[in-house]
Amino acid sequence: MKISINCLNLLKELEGCKLTAYTCPAGVWTIGYGTTVYPDGRKVSQGDTISQQQADAFLLDECRDKAKTISELVRVPLTQNQFDAIVSFVYNIGEGAFEESTLLRKLNDRDYEGAAAEFKRWNKITQNGQKVVCDGLVNRRKKEEALFRKAEASGTPLDLESPLEPPVNWLELYRDRDRTVLVAYHDDRIVETIALKTTLKEDFIELLQQYPKAKTIHIAPAEKSVPQSDRVEFYGRKTPRDLGTPPPLKHKVIKRGMRDKHAEYRDIQTLQQRLQELGYYHLEIDGIFGRGTENAVKAFQADVFGSAEVDGKVGSRTWTMLWSDLPKPEPDSSESDRPQGTYLYLTKTNRKDRFGCYILNLEYVKNGKVRDRLEVCSGQAYAQHFRIGIESKAGSMEPLPEGKWYVNNIIWADSKDRYDGGVFPNGLGPVTTPIKYVEPQYTQRSAIEIHIDWNNRRPAGTAGCVGIYNIADYKKFVTWLRDTDPRDLYVDWGLGTCPKQ
């Protein structure tokens, strides 16, 4: 069986939603509608933030899992209301507790009245080693029992078919000439093959962290060949290229404990602003080189130079790199295959970013010629499945579907061009540009926007929107929109449904 909208509404009412991680009464880090473990197997951690779309999708994913377990454990017919009530119940107590419960035993004995009476018994929490009645649980059980007993007005089942690949449960490492190649398996089936393009240990560690459900890792014998399959490139942390002369650094070195003292010496404010633009600094720009600024500098240095060269101090080398950029690869498809005119064009590469999302090329095409491009992402790392419009499900957490989209006006959380002020409460950051699907046919996907990947530390990615990696890149994107006001976005995943005009 599948849940109905009644179940979702009840869970949203009972759980409440918080977009920043918090500890529940049991001391477990929690986010969204009671999520403690993300769909990819990672536990929620302190400091995590998500968008409203992600919270909704995590709820759907967990309901999908609970519905599957309940369908396997319950051996008697259930009404839609009974099923919805049990999903809410199991969402709270866990699948293991439900499997051992008297409620399930009575249900399978066809004692529906006895099962209904069991809800109210699950009203306690543990405090200081003692079981005590929780008023919140008393209220929750009353509502679940009432829904279980309700005979009329059943909801319509929702289509929650899982879009996910089977989880990777073991890994195998190969050495192919001068490259490390990782093959990820689910049992005996290859899920994907990753070619590591760098030699930094941090990159290797981050690659392994993309497979939290993998229990073992094997080192292939030297004589064993890499299995034949398509390879995805993983670049990890990248070395920027020099774009020109950065703003002058007035001091030889700036470090923790220093502060801007004169109007003509604004090194630290300039540093904080640049770190903020690049997505490393999220505190007040105050001209004081404190712990937060030092941590942001260290994170930037680790990304660019590797952990061995991290010291948290900013000299000429770090300063120069702060105003450098990464080389942008050429697109895979020919410009002759593109629509004529002025528009945005989004394509997929065969490379993944450090968080496990495919790197996408967002191009600005003016009068039929590519004028500029940005690297962006879309969807969650565990759901990188690219589909056409009519096959893309709502709540899938996948990248936006292929097709033609309409670009709406820029919306600011605070005031125009204000990146360091207020942010949208749904996790989209300080600015967003909504887009709407046009053709071909239709898609279930909605609430798709182009915004900064404001949660790009953890969990990274979006709920299907186009995520621009940092403020600096979004500023460039805004210049495109203000240059010619392009309204068309062509999303071309190579599936054959992207219009050519």
Catalytic residues: 15, 24
Beta bridge partners of 231: 193
CA angle, 342 as apex, 339 and 347 as ends, to 5°?
55
Residue 166 identity: P
Q: Is 188 exposed, middle or buried (0-12, 13-18, 19+ CB in 10 A)?
A: exposed
What is the per-residue DSSP string for 98-166?
HHT-HHHHHHHTT-HHHHHHHGGG--EEEETTEEEE-HHHHHHHHHHHHHHH--S-PPPBP-----PPP
Residue 303 identity: D
Cis geometry, peptide bond prior to residue 329 (ω within 30 degrees of 0): no
In this structure, the strands spanning 488-492 and 466-468 are unpaired
DSSP 393: P
**Of 412, 414, 398, 406, whose CA–CA distance to 495 is shortest?**
398
User: Considering Cα of 282, then 284, then 285, then 288, what sign does the dihedral take?
Assistant: negative
Cβ-proximal residues to 9 (8 Å cutoff; 6+ apart), any chain? none
Alpha-carbon distances, residue 326 vs 241, 280, 349, 356, 374 (angstroms): 6, 16, 16, 18, 10
**Of 225, 188, 187, 194, whose CA–CA distance to 208 is shortest?**
194
How many residues make up the chain in this entry?
Answer: 501
Cβ-proximal residues to 97 (8 Å cutoff; 6+ apart), any chain? none
Between CA 394 and CA 407 the distance in angstroms is: 20
What is the per-residue DSSP string for 279-327?
TS--S---SB--HHHHHHHHHHHHHHH-GGG--S-B-HHHHHHHT-BPP
Tokens linked to 150: 């309700």
* Residue 251 CB coordination number (10 Å): 13
Between CA 72 and CA 83 the distance in angstroms is: 12
Contact 4/11 with Cβ under 8 angstroms?
no
Alpha-carbon distances, residue 179 vs 147, 219, 233, 304 (angstroms): 58, 14, 11, 20
